[in-house]
Amino acid sequence: MNENLSTIARGSSSALATNKVLRNTYMLLSLTLLFSGLTAALSMLLKMPPMTYLISVIGGMVIAMFVLPRFANSTAGIGIVFLITGLLGFGLGPMLTMYASLPNGGNVIMLAFGGTGVIFMGLSAYALATKKDFSFLGGFLMVGFLLVLVAAVANIFMQIPAMSLMISAVVIMIMSGFILYDTSRIIHGGETNYVLATIGLYMTIFNIFISLLQILGIMGNDD
Amino acid sequence: MEWMEIISALALGMFIVVMLPAARNMVQNSPKGSSSDWVSFVVPIVMIMLFVILLIELV
């Protein structure tokens, strides 16, 4: 009997811990997205040059890969997450300025923004409602992402617009898979650090937004 | 802007190299999914693709 009670207690404490990670992740994610929006607006106001995007993304990725893991278990980790997301948001400024100057550009930006929100919320709700374990996707998504990166490197030199569209579409599919994978990892206790969970989900949202912007930007100016 | 393209390619290349060990580890340690698992992944992805097509129609 005592053993049963302790098993139930252990189960409920693990569920509580999972809910806490989930709640903290979504709270930090909301704040970082808001902060990114502010830094993107600042970058647009300052009329930053196009190279800002490249510098910000490289800087953000280097900090995310090499600095954040060392501080993920301390409060400094939260500051680093804001630094990364602020940097990535700042890098978005010149890109948004460029799209806004296109005919129908405002519409493209709003659709990409709204579309990203719908995709993220829809997939998160799906993973949370079904409670399905998507851990089997890990290897598949990682290999798919690496192949897309190789294709992206090739297309930097080949400059084929159709390939660029194809890469953006595949990135949306892979990032959608990562939303399911990351959310399921939090639900099933595979990710207990909300700082790392936040940066993972933020990156998926960032990539979906950029890819949607590219697809809608190209298709919207096809007339 | 050729130098920006070269820097982008170098950065992506570095990113691939850094991610390679993690990718290999994930491929080796990921559990195998059943056919119903894959269906539960493919269905929402198809929905997302249809949604993107809808967004393209709206532009």
Quote ipTM for the complex: 0.93
Q: pLDDT (tens digit, 9 = 90+) per residue, B27-46? A: 998 899 999 999 999 999 99
Chain B residues lying within 8 Å of A51, measured CB to CB: 4
Apex B14 CA angle, B31 and A65, nearest 5: 60
Q: Which residues lie closer than 8 Å to A160 by C-beta, 6 or more apart? A: none
Chain B residues lying within 8 Å of A177, measured CB to CB: 41, 45
Most distant CA pair in chain B, distance: 48
> Which pLDDT belongs to residue A219?
87
> Which pLDDT belongs to residue A223?
54
Residues A148 and A167: beta-carbon distance below 8 Å: yes
Chain A residues lying within 8 Å of B42, measured CB to CB: none
Chain B residues lying within 8 Å of A123, measured CB to CB: 44, 48
Between the CA of residue A174 and those of A143, A149, A153, A184, A191, what are the distances in Å? Answer: 10, 12, 17, 15, 19
The pLDDT profile of chain A, 223 residues, written as one tens digit per residue, is 555 656 555 566 677 777 899 999 999 999 999 999 999 999 999 999 999 999 999 999 999 999 999 999 999 999 999 999 999 999 999 999 999 998 889 999 999 999 999 999 999 999 999 999 999 999 999 999 999 999 999 999 998 989 999 999 999 999 999 999 999 999 998 999 999 999 999 999 999 999 999 999 988 875 5
pLDDT surpassing 70 at residue B1 = no
Among residues A108, A100, A97, which one has the least CA distance to residue A48?
Answer: A97
Question: How near does any CA of chain B get to the CA of A155, in Å?
Answer: 9
Selected residue of A146, A150, A170, A182 to mutate for chain B interface (largest B Cβ count, 10 A): A146
User: Among partner residues A57, A104, A143, which is closest to B59 by beta-carbon distance?
Assistant: A104
> Which pLDDT belongs to residue A2?
59
Question: How near does any CA of chain A get to the CA of B51, in Å?
Answer: 8
Total residues belonging to chain A: 223
**Interchain proximity A149–B16, CB inside 8 Å:** yes
**Interchain proximity B44–A122, CB inside 8 Å:** yes
Residues A201 and A177: beta-carbon distance below 8 Å: no
> Which pLDDT belongs to residue A220?
80
Helix, strand, coil percentages for chain A (3-state, nearest 5)? 85, 0, 15
Judge whether A117 is closer than 8 Å to chain B, CB to CB.
Answer: no
Between the CA of residue B17 and those of A62, A97, A161, what are the distances in Å? Answer: 13, 32, 26
Among residues A120, A99, A101, which one has the least CA distance to residue A216?
Answer: A99
Judge whether A219 is closer than 8 Å to chain B, CB to CB.
Answer: yes
Question: How near does any CA of chain B get to the CA of A194, in Å?
Answer: 20
Q: Where are the beta strands (DSSP E) in chain A?
A: none
> Which pLDDT belongs to residue A26?
97
CB contact residues (below 8 A), chain A span 147-206, against chain B: 149-150, 152-153, 156-157, 169, 172-173, 176-177, 180
> Which pLDDT belongs to residue A3?
57
Supply the DSSP symbol for A137.
Answer: G
> Which pLDDT belongs to residue A137?
96
In whole angstroms, give the CA distance from residue A93 to residue A41.
6
- Domain map (residue ranges) of chain B: 2-58
In whole angstroms, give the CA distance from residue B10 to residue A73.
31
Phi and psi at B34, nearest 5°, equal: -80, 175
**Interchain proximity A132–B37, CB inside 8 Å:** yes
> Which pLDDT belongs to residue A18?
79
Q: Which residue does chain B place closest to A209, by CA atoms? A: B52
- Domain map (residue ranges) of chain A: 2-220
Q: pLDDT (tens digit, 9 = 90+) per residue, A107-132? A: 999 999 999 999 999 999 999 999 99
Chain A residues lying within 8 Å of B28, measured CB to CB: 139
Cβ neighbours of A124 (radius 10 Å): 19
Q: What six digits make up the tokens of A40?
A: 């993107």
Which secondary structure element, helix H or strand E, spans residue A138, and what is its range? helix A138-158
